[in-house]
Amino acid sequence: MIRLLPFQFKEHSDGRILLVNSSGDYYFVSKDTFEAIISHKINEYNPDYYNLKSRMFFDDGTGNSSIQMISAKYRSRKSYLRDFTSFHMMVITLRCNQKCEYCQVSCAENDAYKYDMSIETAYKIVDMIFESPSDNVKIEFQGGEPTLHFGLIEKTVLYAKTKNNQFNKTISFVICTNLTAITKEQLIFCRDNNIYISTSLDGPNNVHDTNIKNLSLARNILGKQSVDALMTTTSTSLRNLHRVVDEYIELGFAGIFIRSLNPYGFAAENSAKLGYSMDEFVDSYIDALKYIISINKNKYFPEYFATLLFSRILTPFSTGFVDLQSPAGTGISGVIYDFDGSVYPSDEARMLARMGDKYFNLGNVYFDSYKSIFGGGKLKNIISSSCVETTMDCAYCVYQSYCGTDPIRNYLESGMVNRKMGNTNFCIKHKRIFDYLFSFLSNMSEFEENIIWNWITRSNTVNGNA
């Protein structure tokens, strides 16, 4: 007599039943086989019996070795949590020399110096960062446009490196910049101190053109691998994703991450003009993904979001991604420090504060200790409300093992950190993308399978050649 081990299920679009268990293993069965499983009538004469047993959807009920194996895989999946907060964002200025419509930051005017972070505040933030138990720390400078306050970046980087002599952590730095104001001297400093550049190519034409020019300069000085771009999909780019992909390839980027708009800042104010429904986004995303996969028949070029999700589906390995994990990564994987030393669990929480709601303010580096901010009741409440296993609609979702939640976004849209997720844009987006990816996985050719594994393992082989 079999003992069923915990799993979720759903009828797939092709009529088969998709099963996914707690360790993230999945399997498709016919309705007859599903009926046999839940009524404990499945036996070794069923062609799926041994596949299901080896993937630990059931065992023979003796001992706990299956439970221990599932637990070990579950532990692997969640191992990113052990590092605690390793991603620290510093908003060093709210000044910006641009006003991109889709900006979720709602930057201040170029002369608004009162929003510049002081050196004292920056040093206090670095002191707090080093109280984190993480062995690997990434410090990201954001704005506004952070290169407008480059002097602070220089001092902060050198201070952090000096401080690290006693801590010996692996520390990395990133500047998120539109590249329009960056100078050669600043790029040389970045090169000499191993600072990465993250930029955006989605701005209006005049911004975009300066971007491209300085992108070249940045690559010449820092090297191609140290400069990357993040795209934000507006309604214009949504209709032209193939061209966006082509441009990224032409500009020599290694891959692309197709992101939907977030409902904050200027993007929220301009949503009528910029916006699209989540169904429209997913339709275009899937179309772009098919296009990218076809490109990969001749050239290695991953779509990073799909890569992350494929990795979660096909491997038991840890894939921390702050925007889609359970418990949510907000505060415990990444945190953000505002120009005045205020601490927020995410950039979106900081943006809410800019919009007048300081509900998610965790404290301030001047007045509060590391323990009260990162171990305090506020963050604990947010995180305990952000586990899919205890979220309505998510608790029984077949994609639970691969998905996550966003308590800040929940609060923005409904006033509640933990809400019914079923018909939210967040759920629509991820559910539909998972539906598509599972259809792809069950129908893919061997060649397409190789492409996906190339993405997951980051091995740049095409047609079997490196």
Partner 1 sequence: MKDRIKIEYKNNKIILSKEFFEREPVLLTASKFTDKYYINIQPVGKNEFEINIQQKFETLAEVDILKNFCNELIDNQVRHDLQGEFGKLQEMIVEPAFYPLEAK
By CB under 8 A, name the binding residues for partner 1.
4-11, 22-23, 38, 64, 67-68, 70-72, 74-75, 78, 82, 389, 392-393, 396, 420, 422-423
3-state secondary structure (DSSP) of residue 173: strand
Q: At what angle do helices 150-167 and 184-192 cross, to 10 degrees?
A: 10
The distance of closest approach from Cβ of residue 396 to partner 1 in the complex, given in angstroms and rounded to an integer, is 5
Work out the end-to-end distance of the chain between its first and last CA atoms, rounded to an integer number of angstroms. Answer: 49
Q: Residue 260 has what DSSP assignment?
A: P
Q: Are 216 and 199 in contact (CB under 8 A)?
A: no
Other beta carbons less than 10 A from residue 299's beta carbon: 10
3-state secondary structure (DSSP) of residue 261: coil
Q: Which is nearer to partner 1, 38 or 212 (CB)?
A: 38
The distance of closest approach from Cβ of residue 16 to partner 1 in the complex, given in angstroms and rounded to an integer, is 14
| Residue type for position 85 | T
Q: Which is nearer to partner 1, 34 or 115 (CB)?
A: 34
| Residues facing 10 on adjacent strands | 18
Q: Which is nearer to partner 1, 4 or 249 (CB)?
A: 4
Is the sign of the CA dihedral 375, 378, 379, 385 positive or negative?
positive
> How many Å separate Cα 422 from the centre of its chain?
21
Q: Which is nearer to partner 1, 135 or 449 (CB)?
A: 135
The distance of closest approach from Cβ of residue 285 to partner 1 in the complex, given in angstroms and rounded to an integer, is 24
Q: Which is nearer to partner 1, 318 or 454 (CB)?
A: 318
Q: Which is nearer to partner 1, 40 or 114 (CB)?
A: 40
The distance of closest approach from Cβ of residue 77 to partner 1 in the complex, given in angstroms and rounded to an integer, is 8
Each as own residue / partner, the long-range contacts of residues 73-78 (CB below 8 Å, 24 or more positions apart, any chain) are 73/23, 73/24, 73/25, 73/316, 74/22, 74/23, 76/316, 76/317, 76/318, 77/23, 77/24, 77/312, 77/316, 77/317, 77/318, 77/319, 77/401, 78/318
Q: Which is nearer to partner 1, 2 or 322 (CB)?
A: 2
The distance of closest approach from Cβ of residue 418 to partner 1 in the complex, given in angstroms and rounded to an integer, is 14
The distance of closest approach from Cβ of residue 75 to partner 1 in the complex, given in angstroms and rounded to an integer, is 4
The distance of closest approach from Cβ of residue 389 to partner 1 in the complex, given in angstroms and rounded to an integer, is 8
